[in-house]
Amino acid sequence: MTISPPRSALYIPASNARALEKAPSLDCDAVIIDLEDAVHPDARDDAREQMRTVAKIWPSRPRLLAVRINPLQSEWGTEDLIAALAIRPGAIVLPKAESPQEITALGEAFNEFDLPVRPQIWAMIETPRGLLNAPAMAELGLHQRHGLAAFIAGTNDLAKATGVRSADAMQPWLMHILLAARAGGLAVLDGVHNDFRDIDGFEAACHAARGRGFDGKTLIHPSQIEPANRIFAPSADEIAEARAIKTAFALPENAGKGVIEIDGRMVERLHLEQAEAILAKAVHS
Ligand code: COA
Ligand code: MG
């Protein structure tokens, strides 16, 4: 991603006018307007129109706007894409992505529109086939022209499709998604926490996802925004440590060194790169 990956990406069902109107005023890093699972199939035509109508009267734009369309091969896919592109999103979220061809097909579909800026593609890994093909899909991230910029773990659909019932049992798959994403240079967002009144549980889930290396979390309720922004941002301790590493390597006596000691710990130049990444992230958060 050329922009910092979102710490918080809030889904808003396109069928919910009141929530849509609020989109630009929310403090999440990204808004994902949903035309797929959160909208009843019979309500999808109306929801699509409502999205366009409400987006026209927004007084400002969300920080980063994404739209989740239905798969292109579904009966809603093409109409969804037309409506989504009309509101100039920064990203299109492709649900149930299962093969590299589906991602290149979406990129090719963009070519049929006169777009000042091509949106990024965020692919959801949420089916058994999608999981198995995640490494092949991630390879597309190495060729920027495809526009693939992120994976999102779709944990609800994965549970439904596999029968897995516990978060623990899903851990290896989340790490598989993480590893594939990083191999392709992609950002990676964790699935949603359904129990949105349970903020302690949500915070624990954010800490766990951060520990696994995820950049942020997809959200379903505004109450989840503040904790996600806080937990996925570099902590004060991490920022202080990063500054210390930067300062130490900047000293004239360390100029030619690949490895130095700080407070009894070995610090290499790779840690300097990590420190710089943390400080860059801190600026955005
Ligand atoms: N985005 C923006 N605003 C939201 C919101 C969301 N996802 N979810 C709730 N709100 C707003 C409500 O509009 C309400 O605003 P108001 O006080 O001005 O009326 C306020 O937050 C409080 O809402 P609350 O009563 O706590 O929730 P609810 O019962 O109205 O809705 C859900 C609960 C789960 C139905 C709703 O949060 C939702 O639809 N979430 C997204 C679901 C989704 O997109 N799923 C697909 C991906 S998994
Ligand atoms: Mg889904």
Q: Is the pLDDT of residue 2 over 60?
A: no
pLDDT at position 3 is 63
User: What percentage of the chain carries pLDDT values higher than 90?
Assistant: 95
| Alpha carbon of 155 to ligand 2 centroid (Å) | 8
Q: Whose CA is nearest to atom 40 of ligand 1?
A: 220
Ligand 1 near 197 CB (within 6 A): no
Q: Is the pLDDT of residue 244 over 60?
A: yes
Q: For residue 122, name the pLDDT band (cuts at 50, 70, 90).
A: very high
Q: For residue 68, name the pLDDT band (cuts at 50, 70, 90).
A: very high
Averaged over 87-104, what is the pLDDT?
98
Which of 21, 220, 224 has most ligand 1 atoms within 8 Å of its beta carbon, as the pocket-test mutant? 220
pLDDT at position 283 is 82
Give pLDDT tens digits for 152-192.
999 999 999 999 999 999 999 999 999 999 999 999 999 99
| Alpha carbon of 10 to ligand 1 centroid (Å) | 10
Ligand 1 near 153 CB (within 6 A): no
| Alpha carbon of 69 to ligand 1 centroid (Å) | 19
| Alpha carbon of 223 to ligand 1 centroid (Å) | 9
Averaged over 66-88, what is the pLDDT?
97
User: Do 5 and 150 touch, CB atoms closer than 8 A?
Assistant: yes
Ligand 1 near 18 CB (within 6 A): yes
pLDDT at position 4 is 83
Query: What would the 3-class secondary structure string for the chain be?
Result: CCCCCCCEEEEEECCCHHHHHHHHHCCCCEEEEECCCCCCHHHHHHHHHHHHHHHHCCCCCCCCEEEECCCCCCCCHHHHHHHHHHCCCCEEEECCCCCHHHHHHHHHHHCCCCCCCCCEEEEEECCHHHHHCHHHHHHHHHCHHHCEEEEEECHHHHHHHHCCCCHHHHHHHHHHHHHHHHHCCCEEEECCCCCCCCHHHHHHHHHHHHHCCCCEEEECCHHHHHHHHHHHCCCHHHHHHHHHHHHHHHCHHHCCCCEEEECCEEEEHHHHHHHHHHHHHHHHC
User: What percentage of the chain carries pLDDT values higher than 70?
Assistant: 98
Angle of the 77-86 helix axis to the 44-56 helix axis, nearest 10: 10
Question: In sequence order, which residues have a C-beta less than 8 Å from that of residue 237 and are 6 or more positions away?
Answer: none
CA dist., res. 111 & res. 102, Å (int): 15
Atom index in ligand 1 nearest the CA of residue 26 equals: 2
Mean pLDDT of the chain, nearest integer: 96
